[in-house]
Amino acid sequence: MKPLDLCAQSGGAGKPSFLRLEDIVKRFGGFTALRGIDLQVDEGEFICFLGPSGCGKSTLLRIIAGLETHTSGRLLESGRDISSMSAAERRFGILFQSYALFPNLNVYENVVYGLRGRKRRAELESRAVELLQLVDLSGTEKKFPAQLSGGEQQRVALARAIAPSPRLLLLDEPLSALDAKVRVHLRRQIRDLQRRLAVTTIMVTHDQEEALTMADRVVVMNRGTVEQVGTPTEIYYSPRTPFVANFVGKMNFMPATLRDETKLRVGGTGFSLPPPRDAPADRHTLDGDVLACVRPEHIRKVQSDGLQATVSHVEFLGSSWRIALDVPALAAGELFADFAGGAGFTPPVQAGERILIAIAPERIIVFPASAGAPVAGGASQGG
Amino acid sequence: MAMAQDVIAREPARPIVRIENVLRNGACVVLLAILAVLIVMPLYALLSQSLEDADKHFIGLGNFVRYADNPGLVQSVYNSLFVSIAVTAITVPLAFGYAYALTRSCIPAKAIFKGIALLPILAPSLLPAISLTYMFGNQGFMRGLLGGHSIHGPIGIIMAQVFHCFPFGVLIIGTALGISDGRLYEVAQTFSTPKWRVFWTITLPAVRYGLISACFVIFTTAIVDFGIAKVIGGSYNVLAIEIYKQIIGQQNFQMGAVIGVLLLLPALLTFFIERYVNKRQMSQLTARAVLYQPKPHRLFDATMLAFVVVVALCILGVNAVAVFASFFKLWPYDLSFSLDSYDFAAFDPGGWSSYWNSIIMASGAALFGTVLTFGGAYLVEKSPIPASLRGLLHILAMIPIAVPGIVLGLGYVFFFNDPANPLGFLYYTMTILVMCSIAHYYTIPHLTALTALKQVDKEFEAVSQSLGVPFWVTLRRVTIPISVPVILDVATYIFVNAMTTVAAVIFIYSPQNKLASIAVIAMEDTGDTGAACAMAMMILYTSVAVKVVQIGLSKLLFPKLQLWRHPDAS
């Protein structure tokens, strides 16, 4: 796989990217759904638009599909402006949450719906066989959608979407209506299929786990803007805004002060941060009041040489335990730490227990305090 | 690369998209033009006529002032109000009791009782009027029961109207009672709330919008009705009769227009109250509500059954009298069986041709009306046409429900009989009868089709577009096939109503294309009550037959054609 850009704009040297969005704005009456979106999508890439409901991700997808018209901005496909083209002219494959299979047509007729009139019957049939094999549904040609399970219906819809070999596949929350187990299975099937066909794909989802497991790059959106574009690991470990930090995974936020770019003071405790890895120019401006963030799994329990903490609450998560801690030295209210459960039936610590904890300075992420702390635990979903 | 080939293969798409847009917008403009001719222009002609003198000079509200100065005319307003209020006051409690029994008790054969309650919808409104004349008229076998009063007058009008309006009350109140949340009753039970308190605090508040709606619908139906008052009203003047007299008798078109405008008022009021009430009522039933299931209760069920049986017998009795009257020489005095009453040529110059004219007219209205209403609903709901056109289409489709038949018919006279109108050649033709019937019954089919189309996944159009399939292919292969039941429903509705209407066509039929419902009035006028009953029954038989065919088709035939609806059956 090719190395991925840290930020969306930097892929522009040389060849034009497959899809390029320039300052896309969408207004519905007085409401601005998209506030100037810039994005580049490379050929063969799997992109996820991730964000809470109402962030504009579905609107953006529908604009790319040609089902909505943007208010201003440009949409370029391989350097060619397709802004004024209709969905029929763009012919991108689309998959909806509702499957949108035609209920009165059988599986075969659904799959070849977009091919009719363009191919002979024999060609159609062999193409349908091939497509149904691809989605693992051979032999269901004569069945009607209502006779299939939700997961099967969505695979038929997928076969229908890729039947005309679209160069771009758009998936609008395709897994949201499915059971958890089916969802995980289909997640992988879609991803495998996408790699095999090397078809550029954009998927909209509000499920961070889906985005992190499937995407080459994730576009985190909030209130009509792009908060961050990056690989799943970048999004998770180097969130660029408090919103991303809070929305993806669980995050502890602590008010702190920063001096000389590296000297961080949280409550009564000092941390010496390593020199910044990315965007070095930014760190100066950070000096002063900041928000220090750390993931629960980066708070470790230690035997000695740590900060005093009192366990206030213990919650079983299955593969680990989430511990609520009161740490006077950090003066940050309640902090959450994830401790491995091991094989035991008993929690690693008990409520009321006094323990020592440590946080590795390189795991601490710092945002300017003016960025505003999201409500603790508000939008995070624990994965 | 494959990409380059795709680009080439894709080029022809462009003209198709253009054709699609031209077709859609074109269809929209054509439909708007049709609705303008069918609905807007006639109403405009009526309104302008009411503000002009006989020489077409604008005189503002002069006609209305003259109207108010005429004590005879004003009396007809009072008469209409009195009759309509009485009908509402009698019908709503009856309908409430009947609907309550159907939804909240465990009486047997609910489907049959419901069918009986709705039977009057399939008959022309004249039918109860004729039956009542037959029973209580000058030679009526039950005349004595009226204690010396004549059936020809307010008593007859009110009785016949109650029969005519009863099904609407049962439908509306029954719907309101049917959507109550069963959990509320379960909660009340856990507090052992007394029954009367449950009724006052849960049942009545839940159906109050339904009751309001029923009151207004029945009041309006009663006040605008023409046929009943014509047959049984005698010399008792009501507004709809007054229009008829002004136009046919005195050729006073301006005064007829004024009364037409007056009759628009209650209908308009009802329309807005209905809309308001519907919104409120729908919001009561949340997705999580549990429907109420009545539990057996011997005394209550027995009382309810007794009530329902009495009402059902009355409805059946009124219809049965018409049946008997049509099959016996002079029922109940001379019980020799005879089909003489069906030899319509002996009573009316139109003979059987009136009946066939009605069939042709109703079929034409059903065919073109279904195409127009379904097509219009499709354009409104499924097409990316400009929002202004969409809104305009919808508003035009909503107007007819607020226009009484006699007012619309009068508008047609003014509009099509105008020598300056190039469409004047349509006057006195079968076409204008079809047009008026479609216009009169446009709204309900439009709403029915709209509701059905709303339930079709809106992404079908998006999928088709992205697959490069033009909209007409998806319309033909998917949307229409899955809408067949609702299309049948709409066609039946228009057919049945067109068969029974009198008011909408009374001014615009010609002797060459006289209709069955008109013939009923004519034969009643000449005292041939038996023949009038026979013709009214022919209308009822036809409507029932069409309804049965529709139900049969949707219940028996379609499961076979539409396997996809019943996945388990295959």
A346 or A278, which is more confident: A346
Cβ B487 vs Cβ B370: under 8 Å: yes
Chain B CA closest to residue A111: B467
So what's the pLDDT on residue B563? 53
Residue A70 — φ and ψ, nearest 5°?
-75, 155
B3 falls within a domain: no
Cβ B359 vs Cβ B495: under 8 Å: no
Which residues of chain A are within 8 Å of residue B465 when distances are taken between CB atoms? 66-67, 86-88
Q: Most A CBs within 10 Å: which of B21, B382, B467, as the mutation test of the A interface?
A: B467
Average of per-residue pLDDT across A347-359: 91
Could you say which of A62, A86, A113 has the minimum Cβ distance to residue B17? A86
Average of per-residue pLDDT across B80-106: 95
Mean pLDDT of chain B, nearest integer? 87
Could you say which of A62, A114, A165 has the minimum Cβ distance to residue B468? A114
Which of B488, B206, B252 lies closest to B370, judged by CA? Answer: B488
Residues of chain B with pLDDT > 70: what percent?
A: 92
Say if the Cβ atoms of B467 and A164 lie within 8 Å: yes
CATH number at residue B168: 1.10.3720.10
Residues of chain B with pLDDT > 90: what percent?
A: 44
Say if the Cβ atoms of A144 and B564 lie within 8 Å: yes
pLDDT at A8 over 60: no
pLDDT in tens, A83-101: 988 888 888 999 998 889 9
Q: Is the minimum CB–CB distance between A223 and chain B shorter than 8 Å?
A: no
Instruction: Kindly state the helix (H) or strand (E) to which residue B543 belongs, with its residue range.
Output: helix B529-552
Residue A373 burial (CB count, 10 A) = 17
- CA dist B228 → B157, B161, B193, B207, B347 (Å): 6, 7, 46, 30, 21
Indicate the length of chain A as a whole number: 383
With b for 16 or more beta-carbon neighbours within 10 A and e for fewer, the A197-225 pattern comes to: eebbbbbbbbbbbbbbebbbbbbbbbebb
Say if the Cβ atoms of B3 and A78 lie within 8 Å: yes
Which residues of chain A are within 8 Å of residue B473 when distances are taken between CB atoms? 116
pLDDT in tens, B508-539: 999 888 999 999 999 988 888 888 989 999 99
Could you say which of B460, B466, B482 has the minimum Cβ distance to residue A92? B466
Domain tally for chain B?
1
**How far A6 CA sits from the closest chain B CA (Å)?**
28
Chain B CA closest to residue A104: B564
pLDDT at B229 over 80: yes
Average of per-residue pLDDT across B430-455: 93
**How far B15 CA sits from the closest chain A CA (Å)?**
10
So what's the pLDDT on residue B11? 42
Dig out the tokens for B393 from the structure.
């289409």
B355 or B72, which is more confident: B355
Say if the Cβ atoms of B481 and A96 lie within 8 Å: no
pLDDT at B504 over 80: yes
pLDDT at B333 over 80: no
B4 falls within a domain: no
So what's the pLDDT on residue A333? 80
Which residues of chain B are within 8 Å of residue A88 when distances are taken between CB atoms? 13, 16-17, 20, 465-466, 468-470
So what's the pLDDT on residue B80? 94
User: Which band of pLDDT confidence, cut at 50, 70 and 90, is reported for residue A282?
Assistant: low
pLDDT at A367 over 90: no
Lowest mean pLDDT among A42-51, B13-22, B235-244, B285-294: B285-294
Say if the Cβ atoms of B567 and A98 lie within 8 Å: no
A21 or B296, which is more confident: A21
Which of A99, A249, A107 lies closest to A182, judged by CA? Answer: A99
Beta-sheet pairing, A217-222 with A46-50: parallel
Q: Most B CBs within 10 Å: which of A19, A113, A127, A156, as the mutation test of the B interface?
A: A113
Average of per-residue pLDDT across A258-280: 79
B479 falls within a domain: yes
Q: Is the bond into A239 cis (omega within 30 degrees of 0)? A: no
Could you say which of B3, B468, B478 has the minimum Cβ distance to residue A167? B3
So what's the pLDDT on residue A283? 52
Range of the domain at B283: 15-559
pLDDT at A350 over 60: yes
Average of per-residue pLDDT across B131-137: 87
Which residues of chain A are within 8 Å of residue B470 when distances are taken between CB atoms? 88
Domains of chain A: 8-92+166-237 (3.40.50.300), 252-371 (2.40.50.140)
B415 or A318, which is more confident: B415
Lowest mean pLDDT among A272-286, A309-323, B164-178: A272-286
Say if the Cβ atoms of A100 and B570 lie within 8 Å: no
State how far the Cα of B477 lies from the Cα of B482, in Å rounded to an integer: 9
Which residues share a beta bridge with B159?
Answer: none
Mean pLDDT of chain A, nearest integer? 86
Which residues share a beta bridge with A315?
Answer: A322
pLDDT at B500 over 50: yes
pLDDT in tens, B242-281: 999 888 888 888 889 999 999 898 888 888 887 787 777 6
Which residues of chain B are within 8 Å of residue A145 when distances are taken between CB atoms? 564
pLDDT at B10 over 60: no
Average of per-residue pLDDT across B335-362: 89
State how far the Cα of B118 lies from the Cα of B319, in Å rounded to an integer: 12
Which residues of chain A are within 8 Å of residue B463 when distances are taken between CB atoms? 94, 96, 100, 113, 160
Which residues of chain A are within 8 Å of residue B464 when distances are taken between CB atoms? 113
The DSSP secondary structure of B322-374, one letter per residue, reads: HHHHHHEEETTTEEEE--GGG-GGGT-TTTTHHHHHHHHHHHHHHHHHHHHHH
Say if the Cβ atoms of B13 and A89 lie within 8 Å: yes
B7 falls within a domain: no
So what's the pLDDT on residue B383? 87
Which residues of chain A are within 8 Å of residue B466 when distances are taken between CB atoms? 65-67, 87-88, 90-94, 114, 161, 166, 170
Q: Is the minimum CB–CB distance between A103 and chain B shorter than 8 Å?
A: yes
So what's the pLDDT on residue B138? 78
User: Which band of pLDDT confidence, cut at 50, 70 and 90, is reported for residue A377?
Assistant: very low
Residue A245 neighbours by CB under 8 Å, 6+ apart: A239, A251, A253, A293, A365, A367, A374
Which residues of chain B are within 8 Å of residue A161 when distances are taken between CB atoms? 466
Cβ B495 vs Cβ B365: under 8 Å: yes
Residue A299 neighbours by CB under 8 Å, 6+ apart: A252, A325, A335, A336, A337, A338, A357, A358, A359
Q: Is the minimum CB–CB distance between A233 and chain B shorter than 8 Å?
A: no
Q: Most A CBs within 10 Å: which of B466, B565, B568, as the mutation test of the A interface?
A: B466
Lowest mean pLDDT among A371-375, B447-451, B492-496, B501-505: A371-375
Chain B CA closest to residue A159: B467
A104 or B179, which is more confident: A104
Cβ B49 vs Cβ B414: under 8 Å: yes
So what's the pLDDT on residue B557? 64
Say if the Cβ atoms of B463 and A89 lie within 8 Å: no
Residue B438 burial (CB count, 10 A) = 27
